[in-house]
Amino acid sequence: MPSSVSHHVSRVRALYRMILRLHRALPLELKTLGDQYVKDEFRRHKSVSFTEAQRFLQEWENYATMLGEQTSQNEESSPNKPHFGSHLPEEKLEALRGEQLGQLQELMQEATKPKRQFNVLDDTEYKR
């Protein structure tokens, strides 16, 4: 494997692991939803062009930075009522393709459901 390819692969894997680690700070329902979304998105982008891969990684790095900052702020200020997420700027929303808008809509609907279709149990006790 050429060194640029191996560097890219290690960068992708490190980012993927970092995001899943950051998700541990989310409420359980959001963690489950976020983990599944990240896994699906990283799989879906395995064979994209170099330009699209760079844009993909940059957006996920921005997400990881934002989530890390929000996690720190929540720990300092309000651990009982954490706040995660941000508003999507108009220009980014307008730049999304139809398929991406559909995914965003589905994600929003799932994240804001008043009743869950299933119960998510914290399985950290069983991973010892």
From CA 58, how far away is CA 52, in angstroms rounded? 10
Q: Is the pLDDT of residue 19 over 90?
A: yes
Domain hosting 49: range is 3-123
6-20, 51-65, 84-98, 106-120: range with lowest mean pLDDT: 106-120
Would you say residue 11 lies in a domain?
yes
Would you say residue 128 lies in a domain?
no
Decide if 20 contacts 90 (C-beta within 8 A): no
Q: Is the pLDDT of residue 89 over 50?
A: yes
DSSP state of 47: T
Q: pLDDT for 20-71, tens place per residue?
A: 999 999 988 889 999 999 999 999 999 999 899 999 999 999 999 999 999 8
Instruction: Compute CA distances 82 → 13, 61, 68, 77, 92, whole Å.
Output: 28, 21, 13, 9, 25
pTM equals 0.74
Would you say residue 35 lies in a domain?
yes
Residue 128's pLDDT is 46
The number of domains in the chain is 1
**At 64, phi and psi to the nearest 5?**
-60, -40
Q: Mean of the per-residue pLDDT values for the chain? A: 84
Q: Which of 49, 60, 52, 42 is nearest to 97 (CA)?
A: 52
